[in-house]
Structure 1
Amino acid sequence: MNKRNLVAMLALSAILAACGKNEPAPSASGAAPAAPAAVTKVVVGLDDNFPPMGFRDEKNELVGFDIDMAREAGKRMGLTMEFKPIDWSAKEAELSGKRVDMLWNGLTITDQRKEKIAFSSPYMENHQIIVVLTKSGIKTKADLAGKVVGAQDGSSAVDAIKKDEAVAKSFKQLKTFGDNVTALMDLSAGRLDAVVVDEVVGRFHVAKKADEYNVLEENFGVEEYGVGLRKDDPEMLAKLNTAMDSMKKDGKAAEIATKWFGKDIIK
């Protein structure tokens, strides 16, 4: 075989081998992406030391008014509610970082918070009350001048106090705490002169120590509670509002409120 014929045969063999390969079929252009998995669980962020809204009982189980409300709403939405205690002062970061899907624990609706998160329809009204020791002699907000006042860090109580600039500037110090329970303990110990706290929480503790605590007639304003969600989750917000509206209409929300507060305080 001469050199020319050998080259021709090798070339023909290469062509035949290439033709014999099983080439993968090209994918269909414009194929629809796989549908996202249906949401079945929602992670609810809360402060687990905020009775009676959300706290741990003697068995270390999470209980409270907002816990019951969230569970009932979850049933109506076809979702399982998983409760996750978080640092309440970092709640917006927990939500935006998708470590939780909702903030449901006595969350006050404010214009400042609306810039970062979406809110459900309001479901309760609340006041920022002033709790003092009965023996303190403090009767009005004016009497707080030169006093040390406590509030929960990151709470709407701090915002409410700062709005009343004249009174806030009269304090000797505004001291913040990780939770309201610790602030009230410092009040009992004499390290604080007053605590500004959500009424639903303050009344719960005052009722336990009626002889020790007194609630002033004046307060730092009225506000509304709502559930916080991410702004990019409008479908979840709509479902939640529908569930909560149905709870109000059929009396379930009133039933839960009566269980925890002795009366219907649903807005």
Structure 2
Amino acid sequence: MKRLMIMALAASLVLAFAASAFAGATYDQVMKDKVVRAGIMTDSIPGAFYNAKKEWVGFDVDIAKAIADKMGLKLEMVPVNNKTRIGFLQQGRIDMSLSNMTHKRSRDNSIDFSITYFFDGQKMLAPKGKFSTLKDFVGKRVATMQGTTSELNVVAALKKLGDPAPKVISFQKESECFQALQMGRVDAWSTDSTILLGYAAQIPGKFELVGEFFSNEPYGIGLPEDDSKWRDSVNFTLQDMWNDGTYQKIYDKWYGPDTKYYFPMTDKIEMWP
């Protein structure tokens, strides 16, 4: 028995050493390989999606490309969704995640985040002319994405307005939420407003955003835990992109006044002297 205990202890020490050896190694590995693997969504219009030509495009796609370019790296894009984006970072399958990820304290327990690189808020999308305020959705069926902050936010918002048991119906994908709204299976869809704008633009004039923002959604780039050198590199690159106009150019391309996804910028990236 004593021998088994010693062997078990030795094994645990080996595992602990191995874990510490890999901790904080993202920067070194990325710079050695000259490749950065970015986890990116595939059906989040206009953040990251496949267009009519089956090209993977969007705001996050262009931001990821700009980060890689400024670092002198080759970009490898990896499809992620709400369920895989954190796990892929923890497993070392990606080096950063640009995937509509609100920086939450609870998420910061398992991964790190860059500075906020996009500012959004949650609203409701509903058939045009049918609703006028958030309170109108009390007792109504609302679609949302399973396992997201949007799911928690809309339940809390409706309860605050007096709905004792909000009828929130959760789906796996954003496209499924929109399909449910189109088919009348739900009365509204709630998530970050830019995502709602993106889908509504596919059928102009049929749907509209209703009410005021009822949550703040500061997006951060998800990063592996405990690698300050890699985190600093991403943060410095974002700040450089803001300073030299790269960020504004990308923003205007997807959210500017001449686009069908027009969304006025509400804040600016945190800058360090």
Q: Does 1:147 align with 2:164?
A: no
Structure 2 stretches of 5 or more lacking a match? 1-27, 258-263, 269-273
Identify the match of residue 100 of structure 1 among 94, 110, 117: 94
Counterpart residue type for residue 215 of structure 1: L
| Identity %, equivalent residues | 26
1:251 paired residue number: 245
* Cα deviation digits, residues 189-243 of structure 1 (max 9, x gap): 1000110021111112223334211211223212211100011222111111111
Q: Secondary structure, in 3 states, of the residue corresponding to 1:55?
A: strand
Q: Does 1:56 align with 2:50?
A: yes
Give me the CA root mean square deviation: 2.1
Residue 144 of structure 1, CA deviation: 1.5
- The two structures have a TM-score, normalised by structure 1, of 0.80
1:112 paired residue number: 106
C-alpha distance in structure 2 between counterparts of 1:131 and 1:200, whole Å:
11
Asked whether the equivalents of residues 46 and 54 of structure 1 are also in contact (C-alpha less than 8 Å), the reply is: yes
* Cα deviation digits, residues 238-264 of structure 1 (max 9, x gap): 111111111000101000111111157
1:157 paired residue number: 150
Q: Does 1:191 align with 2:185?
A: yes
Q: Does 1:229 align with 2:212?
A: no
Closer/same/farther in 2, CA of residues 218 and 171 from structure 1, 3 Å limit? farther
1:44 paired residue number: 38
Counterpart residue type for residue 139 of structure 2: G
Counterpart residue type for residue 74 of structure 1: A
C-alpha distance in structure 2 between counterparts of 1:39 and 1:106, whole Å:
27
Structure 1 stretches of 5 or more lacking a match? 1-35
1:178 paired residue number: 172
Poorly superposed stretches of 4+, deviation over 6 Å: none
Q: Secondary structure, in 3 states, of the residue corresponding to 1:157?
A: helix
Closer/same/farther in 2, CA of residues 112 and 168 from structure 1, 3 Å limit? farther
Residue 157 of structure 1, CA deviation: 1.0
Residue 160 of structure 1, CA deviation: 1.8
Q: Secondary structure, in 3 states, of the residue corresponding to 1:98?
A: coil
Asked whether the equivalents of residues 129 and 215 of structure 1 are also in contact (C-alpha less than 8 Å), the reply is: yes
Asked whether the equivalents of residues 85 and 99 of structure 2 are also in contact (C-alpha less than 8 Å), the reply is: no
Asked whether the equivalents of residues 149 and 171 of structure 1 are also in contact (C-alpha less than 8 Å), the reply is: no
Q: How many residues were matched structurally? A: 232
Identify the match of residue 123 of structure 2 among 110, 125, 129: 129
* Cα deviation digits, residues 114-150 of structure 1 (max 9, x gap): 1221111111210111011125x32222222221110
Stretch moving more, 117-126 or 165-174:
165-174
Residue 171 of structure 1, CA deviation: 5.0
